[in-house]
């Protein structure tokens, strides 16, 4: 059995950022493994340890320097990495990433595909479900727990009003919440071993996917600072008088009554 985890290199959300002339300026040297993807890697490794899964591999779409993020997943314990190399800068949205991953997976063998439920740079949370649609696979999103029996997964999914238990046959796609686990910190031994683990490279152009403008559905025109919140208004007086003032403001100014 093989589990392939889709991972992404993202900006460190703790690094300073600024907006200048409508552009987002980030520290290009502060890039890390997406936290949600780290939970997906951890989930795959736990299943491998508990059920003797043959291989856990990771696949990443990104520029040459993103290979260090693959090595992080290998140091955690993944067996193999695959790097789909892109230009230094790209403007892929969830739809484009899903298309590229679908092109990668269409001729490959796997039992389950794991993804983080979203990436911490855009928080779109769409790539996993789009990938499942492109591949025609069953899927579940926002998994907070995974168990395996007889080769099939049972996912505990966090829904809007409670948790759902979903049986997912193979092959299938799971997107993992970062509430599922605490990803392990690579040990020194794991870091040293990661340097000897294989990382295959593929050019993004070799996937046979149309990367024309139509392949990107989301266009970011500019960035703006979050507007400052107006100061609240404090009322003094008797409770009945204050209640009348608040009701009047809600009616005449906020128009919510």
Summarised one tens digit per residue, pLDDT across range 32-43 is 999 999 999 999
Domain ranges of the chain: 2-215
pLDDT in tens, 169-186: 999 999 999 999 999 999
CATH top-level class of 2-215: alpha beta
Question: Which pTM does this prediction carry?
Answer: 0.83
Q: What is the chain's mean pLDDT, rounded?
A: 89
Please determine, for residue 89, whether its predicted confidence score (pLDDT) is greater than 70: no
| Pairing outcome for strands 2-7 and 55-62 | parallel
Instruction: Compute the distance between CA of residue 5 and CA of residue 37 in angstroms, rounded to an integer.
Output: 8
What was the pLDDT predicted at 214? 61
Residue 201 vs residues 86, 103, 119, 143: alpha-carbon distances, Å: 11, 15, 22, 30
In this structure, the number of other CB atoms found within 10 A of the CB of residue 54 comes to 10
Instruction: Compute the distance between CA of residue 203 and CA of residue 199 in angstroms, rounded to an integer.
Output: 13
Instruction: Compute the distance between CA of residue 182 and CA of residue 175 in angstroms, rounded to an integer.
Output: 16
* CB contact at 8 A, 120 and 10: yes
Instruction: Compute the distance between CA of residue 168 and CA of residue 211 in angstroms, rounded to an integer.
Output: 32
Helix (H) or strand (E) run with residue 197 in it: none
- The mean pLDDT of 228-238, rounded to a whole number, is 84
* CB contact at 8 A, 34 and 9: yes
Please determine, for residue 211, whether its predicted confidence score (pLDDT) is greater than 80: no
Instruction: Compute the distance between CA of residue 45 and CA of residue 56 in angstroms, rounded to an integer.
Output: 7
Please determine, for residue 48, whether its predicted confidence score (pLDDT) is greater than 80: yes
């Amino acid at each position: 059995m093989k589990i392939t985890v889709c991972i992404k290199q993202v900006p460190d959300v703790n690094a300073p950022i600024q907006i200048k002339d409508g552009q987002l300026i980030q520290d290009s040297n502060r890039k890390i493994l997406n936290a949600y993807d780290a939970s997906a890697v951890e989930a795959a490794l736990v299943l491998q340890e508990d059920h003797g899964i043959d291989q856990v591999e990771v696949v990443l779409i990104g520029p040459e320097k993103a290979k260090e993020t693959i090595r992080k997943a290998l140091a955690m314990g993944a067996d193999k990495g695959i790097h789909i190399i892109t230009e230094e800068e790209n403007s892929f949205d969830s739809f484009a990433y899903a298309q590229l991953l679908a092109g990668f997976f269409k001729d490959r063998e796997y039992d389950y595909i794991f993804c983080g439920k979203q990436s911490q740079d855009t928080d779109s949370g769409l790539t996993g479900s789009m990938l499942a649609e492109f591949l025609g696979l069953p899927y579940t999103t926002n998994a907070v727990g995974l168990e395996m029996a007889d080769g099939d997964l049972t996912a505990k999914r966090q829904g809007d009003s409670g948790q759902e238990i979903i049986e997912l046959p193979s092959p299938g796609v799971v997107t993992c919440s970062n509430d599922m686990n605490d990803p392990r910190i690579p040990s020194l031994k794991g870091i040293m071993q990661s340097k000897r683990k294989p990382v295959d490279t593929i050019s993004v152009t070799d996937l046979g996917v149309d990367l024309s403008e139509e392949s990107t559905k989301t266009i970011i025109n500019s960035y703006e600072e979050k507007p400052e919140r107006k100061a609240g208004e404090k009322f003094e007086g008797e409770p009945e008088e204050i209640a009348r003032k608040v009701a009047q403001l809600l009616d005449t100014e906020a128009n919510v009554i």
